[in-house]
Amino acid sequence: MNETWETIYATPLPHRAELAKALLAEHEIPAVVVNRQSSSYPGVGLGKSEVHVPIQHAVLAKVIIENEATFS
């Protein structure tokens, strides 16, 4: 199985990305968090955390994230 994944949400706050992933899981949308923060300077906040979903779920996932009051 070779799926193409798309970034649907990015934030400098890792916990927000995890919340987005959990929200998508409630809607049975598979998601992963990719940490793109610099490990050279932990705690400084350089970079961001991204939420990726399979491309076939991307549109619905974006709508869910955009309509959730927590993420606005």
CATH architecture of 5-71: 2-Layer Sandwich (3.30)
Residues 6+ apart with CB under 8 A from 33: 14, 17, 18, 21, 49, 50, 51, 52
pTM: 0.82
Q: Which DSSP state fits 27?
A: T
Q: Write b or e for each residue in 39-52: b if 16 or more Cβ atoms lie within 10 A of its Cβ, otherwise e.
A: eeeeeeeebbbbbb
Q: Average pLDDT across each block of 10 residues of the chain; the chain has 72 residues. List them in order.
A: 84 92 97 82 73 97 89 60
E strand segments, the chain: 5-11, 32-35, 49-54
- Residue spans of the domains in the chain: they are 5-71
